[in-house]
Amino acid sequence: MDAILENTHLNEQQVHMLRLLKKPLSEKAFKELRRLTVKLLGSELDSTIDSWEKDKNITEEYYEDLSKNHFRASKKKNS
């Protein structure tokens, strides 16, 4: 497996995680690991979005305004 891991385009963290998971997990343990991973990534995404909204001064009111408008272009009539 080590030879296979050396010839991939995975980063160092990804390779390390694969080495940690060499031995198959029980279905219950795998589901828990997947749940925790998704929770962590979701938390990081929330933080990124919060920072972006703060930097761009995006408020709930802005989202409300967006939800009330439509942005479809009207069809042009052929002459």
* pLDDT tens digits along 5-53: 666 789 999 999 999 999 999 999 999 999 999 999 999 999 999 999 9
Residue 8 corresponds to which amino acid?
T
Residue partners of 5: CB distance under 8 A and separation at least 6: 15, 18, 19
pLDDT for the residue numbered 2: 59
| Mean pLDDT for the chain overall | 89
Per-residue pLDDT tens for 40-74?
Answer: 999 999 999 999 999 999 999 999 999 988 777 77
Share of the chain above pLDDT 70, in %: 86
pLDDT for the residue numbered 78: 67
pLDDT for the residue numbered 79: 55
**Do residues 10 and 18 make contact, with C-beta atoms less than 8 angstroms apart?**
yes
**Do residues 33 and 25 make contact, with C-beta atoms less than 8 angstroms apart?**
yes
Helices (H), 1-79: 2-6, 12-20, 27-55, 60-68
